[in-house]
């Protein structure tokens, strides 16, 4: 076996799936337990693997293939998941996560659909230069918006900041009240830039999707509002339902593109139904 691209037999070393075993559409929660919650909204599903933080299920929704893989916390493990899932056949990734809002008026349980991300994590710097943008695919974003509208859910659309540190990197105190100037200023600086929220994965998903010619989006449930000092585990099921519904919508749009021999979706295609 080669150390350049390690495998266990035919399976990729970390996610432990073989080429062709995952669907083109893969939902990416951080928490392995959230994979089980996602699969409840499918017509059927089964577990392919569970190794380290990577729990992989595959199944179908409305008769179409769908998969989910947990990424663990942060950009490094998320990048590993995308690298190996893409090799296995995945082409569209939707993050289904939790987040902390940093703007007033964003309530616990609301959803945030990320149009782009500020790259405050270090993993993407090992792929691209600092000025390279982290942006969502417009079709995936539009499908998430339509899904949230169809489900009657409250959502916000805007820019996310992805960090490597949950504590000092997001303006919290470290152990023994440790802090420094960066940590003390980060929330106010990002608020001035109209950034909506913190997470730890969206930016690397967007960067990798962009450089590899893949598709990506992100929908997160708001568990905290930092400026209002509120915290509660709310909205997780809504984020899951939105992501699953978005996959159904994307399948419909792909059929329209194929029918009309178009590479990209645009609203006028809906008139051709």
Domain count within the chain: 1
pLDDT of residue 147: 98
- Segment 80-102 shows an average pLDDT of 98
User: Per the domain annotation, does 1 fall within a domain?
Assistant: no
Identify the helix (H) or strand (E) that includes residue 156.
Answer: strand 155-163
Is 24 a domain residue?
yes
pLDDT of residue 2: 82
Rounded distance between C-alpha atoms, residue 78 and residue 15, angstroms? 11
Q: Is residue 268 part of a domain?
A: yes
Lowest average pLDDT, out of 1-10, 57-66, 161-170, goes to 1-10
> Residue 1 pLDDT > 80, yes or no?
no
Q: Does the global pTM surpass 0.85? A: yes
Range of the domain at 54: 7-272
2 belongs to a structural domain: no
68 lies in a domain? yes
pLDDT (average), residues 37-52:
98
Q: What is the mean pLDDT of the chain?
A: 97
Helix (H, G, I), strand (E, B) or coil at 139: helix
The confidence score (pLDDT) of residue 197 equals 98
Q: Which of 82, 84, 108, 107 is nearest to 95 (CA)?
A: 82
CATH code (residue 175): 3.40.50.1580
Q: How much is the pLDDT for 118?
A: 98
Cα–Cα distance for residue pair 223/84, rounded to 1 Å: 29
How do residues 129-188 score in pLDDT, each as one tens digit?
Answer: 999 999 999 999 999 999 999 999 999 999 999 999 999 999 999 999 999 999 999 999
| For helices 202-212 and 75-88, angle between their N-to-C axes, nearest 10 degrees | 30
Residue 224, in any domain of the structure: yes
Percent of the chain exceeding pLDDT 70 equals: 100
CB burial of residue 207 (10 Å; 0-12, 13-18, 19+):
buried
Question: What is residue 82's predicted lDDT score, i.e. its pLDDT?
Answer: 98
User: Is position 205 within any domain?
Assistant: yes
Give 111-134 pLDDT, tens digit per residue.
999 999 999 999 999 999 999 999
Q: How far apart are alpha carbons 245 and 148 in whole angstroms?
A: 8
């Amino acid at each position: 076996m080669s150390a350049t691209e390690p495998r266990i037999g035919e399976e990729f070393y970390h996610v432990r799936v073989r080429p062709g075993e995952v669907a083109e559409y893969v939902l990416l929660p951080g928490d392995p337990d959230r994979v089980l919650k996602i699969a409840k909204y499918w017509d059927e599903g089964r577990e392919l693997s569970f190794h380290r933080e990577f729990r992989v299920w595959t199944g179908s929704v409305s008769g179409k293939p769908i998969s989910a893989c947990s990424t663990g916390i942060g950009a490094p493990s998320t990048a590993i998941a995308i690298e190996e899932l893409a090799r296995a056949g995945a082409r569209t990734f939707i993050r289904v996560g939790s987040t902390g809002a940093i703007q007033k008026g964003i309530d616990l349980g609301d959803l945030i659909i990320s149009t782009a991300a500020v790259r405050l994590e270090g993993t993407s710097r090992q792929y691209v230069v600092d000025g390279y943008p982290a942006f969502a695919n417009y079709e995936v974003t539009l499908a998430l918006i339509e899904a949230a509208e169809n489900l009657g859910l409250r959502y916000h659309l805007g820019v996310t900041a992805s960090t490597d540190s949950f504590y000092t990197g997001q303006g919290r105190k470290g152990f023994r009240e440790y802090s420094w100037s960066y940590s003390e200023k980060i929330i106010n600086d990002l608020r001035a830039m109209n950034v909506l929220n913190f997470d730890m994965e969206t930016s690397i998903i967007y960067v990798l999707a962009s450089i590899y010619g893949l598709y990506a989006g992100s929908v997160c449930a708001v568990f905290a509002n930092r400026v209002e000092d509120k915290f509660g585990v709310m909205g997780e099921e809504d984020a899951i339902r939105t992501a699953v519904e978005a996959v159904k919508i994307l399948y419909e749009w792909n059929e329209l593109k194929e029918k009309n021999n178009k590479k990209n979706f645009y609203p006028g295609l809906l008139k051709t139904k």
